[in-house]
């Protein structure tokens, strides 16, 4: 596996824990108006898109420290939809960072609240909005069928139909 490869499959429990931390970080950034924290959230998403938790401090904290302490059985889900969802997180957090740098703190806070809302759905309810968009793009033929076949071939729940 390449050092920049995204894991496939992904542990759904770990993904939900990371999403929970993103909620906390995003709400903290909203409350403080911190451009630095917002930039760190963006960097985390970029690192997770590139290689999953391998280089992300938050991903490493969850997978190496928090997750091993939980007695919840792993639940494998397809990686490509989760990677797409992390990419959506890049777009939202980068937009918030740019807005903050430009002095539009209120607009940045709205974007961060939308990010926190989506991350809350993932963390609390296991509803991945990015995965839903991914599935829709596959149905439209925008994401190639080969991606769908890879998800289905490894027999994972939460594949493109998620």
State pLDDT tens for residues 9-18: 899 999 999 9
**Dist CA 68 CA 12 (whole Å):** 14
Return the pLDDT at 148.
66
Top mean-pLDDT range of 65-79, 92-106, 129-143: 92-106
Contact between 89 and 139 (Cβ < 8 Å) = no
Lowest mean pLDDT among 21-30, 131-140, 141-150: 141-150
**Dist CA 93 CA 114 (whole Å):** 10
Domain ranges of the chain: 10-153
- Residue written as token pair 């420290």: 65
* DSSP SS3 for 64: helix
């Amino acid at each position: 596996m390449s050092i920049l490869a995204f894991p496939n499959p992904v542990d759904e429990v770990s993904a939900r824990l990371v999403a929970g931390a993103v909620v906390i970080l995003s709400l903290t950034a909203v409350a403080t108006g911190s451009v630095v924290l917002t930039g760190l959230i963006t960097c985390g998403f970029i690192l997770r898109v590139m290689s999953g938790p391998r280089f992300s401090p938050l991903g490493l904290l969850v997978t190496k420290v928090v997750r091993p302490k939980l007695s919840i059985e792993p639940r494998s889900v397809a990686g490509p939809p989760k990677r797409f969802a992390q990419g959506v997180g890049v777009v939202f957090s980068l937009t918030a960072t740019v807005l903050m740098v430009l002095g539009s703190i209120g607009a940045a806070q709205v974007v961060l609240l939308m990010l926190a809302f989506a991350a809350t759905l993932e963390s609390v309810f296991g509803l991945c909005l990015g995965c839903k968009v991914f599935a829709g793009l596959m149905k439209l033929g925008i994401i190639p069928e080969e991606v769908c076949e890879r998800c289905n071939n490894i027999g994972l729940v939460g594949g493109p139909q998620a």
